[in-house]
Structure 1
Amino acid sequence: MTKHSAEYWINQLGLEPHPEGGFYKQSYKSGEEVPGRGRVLYTSIYFLMTTGNISHFHRLQSDELWYFHAGDSLSVHMIHENGEYEEVRLGLNLENGEVPQLLVPKNTIFGSSVLQEDAYALVGCMVSPGFEFEDFELFTQEELLRDYPQHEEVIRLMAYEKLPE
């Protein structure tokens, strides 16, 4: 199978810039609602990251499942609710410790990056209950360093100095 470029996927899937970084497009939205919550059962997006274009640290109030589709491996950086940091590589090189799917639990602060030079990763992300922008919270370096000074190196890499307007 031919390895396509990031531009190929962006154009073919109609991806647009995402506020946290990278490119995305909603691919599915459940027609069912979570009983008593007024929220759709799940939503799913295509998400594409390129070298030097990180997904900045953010938090969701729902679980998010990630699925690797194409390209190079993607590092998902997580600061769990208990304050522990974890990096998981999403990809298909299982012998190198990569995994083809990953759960980011609700209320985890997380972001992602492609570490290889001139590379990209195309993934799918499913959120349940369904994603709503009001549940999406971005962070500055200052905010995170106040609560997690032990993770200064990754925070400086993965969080905004100042939130975008």
Structure 2
Amino acid sequence: MKNYQAEDWIKYLELEAHPEGGYFKRSFRSTEEVPGKGRMLYTSIYFLLSDNDVSHFHRLQSDELWYFHAGNSLSVHIIHENGEYEEVRLGLDLEQGEVPQVLVPKNAIFGSSLSQEEEGAFSLVGCMVSPGFEYEDFELFTQKDLLGDYPQHEEIIKKLAYVTLPEMD
């Protein structure tokens, strides 16, 4: 089996830049809707972070389930609704505390980074959102937004929150 690099995954899976950081492509979209809600039952994407990317802090109004696919382990950083911070390492090295999937609950503020920063490192994961992802449910944060509410998490907020939000198409 070929030892794929980040650029290979981006090319072959036709991944595009994501506003939160990294690269993505929608891989699945439910053909069914949540009864009475006019929302897709689920959506799923491929998501890739490389050694010079982070997934900036954001929030969804749906649960998101992450699955590890390839590369290096990924740290998912979660600030829960009660203000508690949790880091979950997504990967396959179970003896080192990694897990192959993690659930980020709806309304949690979260982002991700490579667990170990080294040149050429990347992580390819899958993310499934249920009910399905809609951009109006997606909220990005600045450092100022989060430091006012969570000053105890300053270090990770400065690493994963934008200073100024990017322009969104």
On whether the aligned pair clears a TM of 0.5, the verdict is yes
Distance (whole Å) between structure 2 residues aligned to residue 3 and residue 160 of structure 1: 33
Is 1:72–1:116's contact at 8 Å kept on the other side of the alignment? no
* TM-score, normalised relative to structure 1: 0.98
Identify the match of residue 123 of structure 1 among 114, 122, 125.
Answer: 125
Distance (whole Å) between structure 2 residues aligned to residue 60 and residue 135 of structure 1: 5
* TM superposition shift of 1:116: 2.6
Is 1:23–1:48's contact at 8 Å kept on the other side of the alignment? yes
Identify the match of residue 155 of structure 2 among 144, 153, 156.
Answer: 153
Matched to 1:57, the amino acid is F
* TM superposition shift of 1:2: 3.3
Name the counterpart of 2:90. Answer: 90
- RMSD value, Cα: 0.7
Distance (whole Å) between structure 2 residues aligned to residue 163 and residue 14 of structure 1: 25
For these two proteins, the number of residue pairs brought into alignment is: 165
Unaligned runs of 5+ in 2: none
Name the counterpart of 2:71. Answer: 71
1:1-165 equivalence runs, <5 A: 1-114=1-114, 115-118=116-119, 119-165=121-167
Matched to 1:58, the amino acid is H
Unaligned runs of 5+ in 1: none
Identical-pair percentage: 73
Distance (whole Å) between structure 2 residues aligned to residue 148 and residue 52 of structure 1: 25
Distance (whole Å) between structure 2 residues aligned to residue 126 and residue 140 of structure 1: 25
Is 1:3–1:71's contact at 8 Å kept on the other side of the alignment? no
Distance (whole Å) between structure 2 residues aligned to residue 49 and residue 36 of structure 1: 36
Of 115-124 and 97-106, more deviation after overlay is shown by 115-124
* TM-score, normalised relative to structure 2: 0.96
**Runs of 4 or more consecutive aligned structure 1 residues displaced over 2 Å after TM superposition:** none
Distance (whole Å) between structure 1 residues aligned to residue 46 and residue 166 of structure 2: 22
